Structure 1
């Protein structure tokens, strides 16, 4: 028993000695880095000339950010809060932070540059930036760039570094897809196809996608109760026509539905209840129907007023012909009278001329002048 006790003591002593040796090795100073002399290849062991090894460059990251909700409405103000952290092993100093909203965001009352004196290794800070989503921004996730410029001291050497980090903020354009009230037909008859029209316009800045039009109800037949319109770009107008055939006369109740996805991908529906009065079908005219208010000639089958018009036209033609004939005859008679008058005038002129010449000649030949007798006293 005594022998076993001595052996146990020996083992314990040996273990203690091993532990002491291990502690001694661990407590030795860390070996210094030696510079090699390029002339003879010998190592310089002077501790004053040894160069310490620099650690890794400290990185700054954004560990978290918020913007107030699921998305930011175009034209709205919001606060961008982001938390940045020093992931390095040394402190950073003289830090300048710059926030750039690009083409979609602007700073709302303030500056986009911030200064941080120092940020120790492993520490984090939060910065709030008031911003505004521009009304002209596109829908969807838009980038915001956060830049960090800073300095740090490692191995007794001051250095500088920079990191640019992009985060995304979703923007939603307001839903301005408008559908006008249905344009109803003036009349509708059972068994005849008719159409109800819906006019639409996309006044928003974002596109509308997957537009479908559906007509629901009973008492009508339609070849396409659901129509796929497709995508509607910003500023686009158009119309949707529902063609259907009422089955019977009476009141027809239906519902028009237009479903689509807005610029944020949210599904929306617009509904329009309609009520239509359907009349009995129009009788088919096969050409044998006779209007009881119309008088028809038994022999000719023509209305009386047609014959009256024919008689008036005939009388008019006869009167015109008589007037033209009489005018022509009168004109011809007047022409004959004028010719006879001209002949008679010419004959009388010749006769008068002969008589004047004879009278003058005989007078000058036979005339005798008788002087008066003297008066006797």
Structure 2
């Protein structure tokens, strides 16, 4: 009986809740949740009574308006919710490289430095025609960060300007990752043409979408050539270095230490001297006490002088009034725009105070030569030998003449037996010589002479030797110099506007012979492709019979870009092997270059037809979805969607970011139509592919909006904004849910009651004998009566 009472009370409570809901205003989905939770907070206690479990206190900001009225408001009035701050609109970032003023970053020259080429970091104040220099240019980019460009993503090539024969440019990024891009461009060698003062560079970026830019630096140190015509390719003679002894000025005694100071002067008016190395070799009586006898002089400009010093010590035996020191110099200079090697040898005499035990000194000289010797010319030279000793005679004197590869000896033998040379006497040796048919550019040639003899010393008969080199002036300009080696370069190459993975395209190259005088013959061009690119349907070798001086030839070859997992710029190494004629001699030369081709993944981003909510009703929220899928192997960047049309939406502009390869999903717009009938509009989706090209697609939308189910729920605009967003649940829906819950609970309780009643019936059958023994309990009747009264009260409440 108690269970029947519990069921009746539950049904009565549910019916009263239904009546209350029917008389109230519509309930929103966000407000129905607390009511449903309250319905579930019914629990059966141990004594069979039903109690309501009270939920914890709810925050006032989340409670229903009628449950938390502020002071001064009547119950039932709804306070407007606090306005939420509008979300900040995400700042739009211009894509890197989208334009000259947006993202590409305008390059400016921040400064430059000029040094002598091939000689370290020696600054130069003036650059004259033919001067070889090293240029270091500092460049700054505005609006382009180091991270966007890439630490190793910059290449620089030199354009046509005031400098020629430039070496490959080297780039070094000096800025940090999140800073504006700053880098230096170093051109290790470049020859000034004598015209203008501009250095023009093209800056290329390996990352896609960042356009190339050209910058110009004005080199103020340039001094323009005022002569007529352009003879920049004319060869210049080898510069001559004049050597002057500064110290010692007094005679050096035996065992004495001293410093040999020499002054070197470049007497040329046309060529600078680079990489000068001076080798000092003293005679038998002198010794070098420094670590080395070589001195390095970085450079000698036109008419420039420099000094060097070497520490030396005199030996115990010094013969004659002076000792000879051989000075041999090797250096580089520019002739005809090419770097040429030169050498020069001279002797320096050091006065000494010789002892009696020393070897007698033989002074070696030559007769006067009125003019420089021309190529192929035959001439006679007189060599004079003088015994400078006052008391020592020389016996068994032998002279050996040592010609070089430019001067030939015409006598029958190179050795002369001169016999005795008394103290204070001299002897002349006539020598017939001939200059070679091709003299080098050197201003002089050296003829070697070695002397062997016997003399008397305090130790008895001794043997002495002397070696000298005689200088013969030659007319190097009249002889034919070695021509500069021609170089073959890739002046331009083209592969079309854009290369996508898997594409077969024509790579067109323009090969140029940089020499203005020499042709390249039997040219073999080899292409070595790296990872990500291959040659298609052709050989990787090209043969060119002849490429004339200054000529250019275009060659096209089919190349295929392979599919790769990421964006990259495959490289192709182009090697040249060729021959050229240097006079009557055929020589070989090689050169190589590397080019890069950026490859992009094809764009396969697809948008499908729009999908609408099942029911589009006036003043009810609905969704419009655009399915998408990125079928490509690369990303799509900066995806944005915009809803256009006369239909209110929660957000009309969506910024969706980047979509990885293979990603799929939907672009959703939450809308609340205000008008019935057909609503039309379009959704505009824009994005950037891997080449940073902006693309836009438009999807038309058309949907039929039905009237709202309850026309009486006419909310004003302010009431609509005050209510929380969600789907409206009308009283009929709530009534159906509560009724179903009540019927389920009643059925379950009735089943339990039926099972209990069957158990009681079995128990009564077993206890029939006890009914005869014990009379009916009056207390039980009272309970029955009490239960009947309670049932009657419950029925009256139900009727009410």
The TM-score range, normalised by the shorter chain, is 0.5 to 0.7
Is the partner of 2:700 in helix, strand or coil? strand
1:35 and 2:445 correspond: yes
RMSD: 4.1
> Which structure shows the higher helix fraction?
1
Q: 2:528 aligns with which of 56, 80, 100?
A: 100
1:247 and 2:674 correspond: yes
Matches within 5 A, 1:227-376: 227-283=654-710, 321-329=760-768
Q: 1:219 to 1:110 in 2, by over 3 A?
A: closer
How far apart are residue 203 of structure 1 and its match? 1.4
The answer (yes or no) to whether the contact 1:71–1:169 under 8 Å persists in 2 is no
Is the partner of 1:36 in helix, strand or coil? strand
**Counterpart Cα distance in 1 of 2:532 and 2:756:** 88
1:125 and 2:543 correspond: no
**Counterpart Cα distance in 1 of 2:729 and 2:635:** 51
Q: 1:174 aligns with which of 602, 614, 637?
A: 602
1:110 and 2:110 correspond: no
**Counterpart Cα distance in 2 of 1:147 and 1:82:** 13
The answer (yes or no) to whether the contact 1:104–1:138 under 8 Å persists in 2 is no
Q: 1:72 aligns with which of 472, 493, 499?
A: 499
**Counterpart Cα distance in 1 of 2:747 and 2:630:** 64
Matches within 5 A, 1:131-210: 131-136=559-564, 142-154=570-582, 158-210=586-638
> Which structure shows the higher strand fraction?
2
Q: 1:330 to 1:231 in 2, by over 3 A?
A: same
Is the partner of 1:187 in helix, strand or coil? coil
The answer (yes or no) to whether the contact 2:374–2:474 under 8 Å persists in 1 is no
- Relative to the length of structure 2, the TM-score reads 0.32
Q: 1:122 to 1:316 in 2, by over 3 A?
A: closer
The answer (yes or no) to whether the contact 1:254–1:274 under 8 Å persists in 2 is yes
- Unpaired runs of 5+ in structure 2? 1-372, 376-438, 449-466, 711-727, 736-741, 773-800
Deviates more, 1:319-328 or 1:169-178: 319-328
How far apart are residue 257 of structure 1 and its match? 1.7
How far apart are residue 62 of structure 1 and its match? 2.1
How far apart are residue 93 of structure 1 and its match? 2.8
How far apart are residue 246 of structure 1 and its match? 1.7
Q: 1:250 to 1:114 in 2, by over 3 A?
A: same
Is the partner of 1:43 in helix, strand or coil? strand
Task: Identify which of structures 1 and 2 has the higher relative contact order when contacts are C-alpha pairs closer than 8 Å and 6+ apart.
Answer: 1
**Counterpart Cα distance in 2 of 1:70 and 1:309:** 77
The answer (yes or no) to whether the contact 1:137–1:171 under 8 Å persists in 2 is no
**Counterpart Cα distance in 1 of 2:644 and 2:472:** 94
- Relative to the length of structure 1, the TM-score reads 0.63
Is the partner of 1:246 in helix, strand or coil? coil
Q: What is the number of residues matched between the two proteins?
A: 292
Query: Between Structure 1 and Structure 2, whose CA radius of gyration is higher?
Result: 1
The answer (yes or no) to whether the contact 1:211–1:261 under 8 Å persists in 2 is yes
Is the partner of 2:471 in helix, strand or coil? coil
Q: Provide Cα deviations, 1:154-199, integer angstroms capped at 9, x if missing partner.
A: 3555543322223344544322101232221112333233222223
**Counterpart Cα distance in 1 of 2:550 and 2:526:** 21
Is the partner of 2:768 in helix, strand or coil? helix
> Residue 325 of structure 2 corresponds to which residue in structure 1?
none
Is the partner of 2:502 in helix, strand or coil? coil
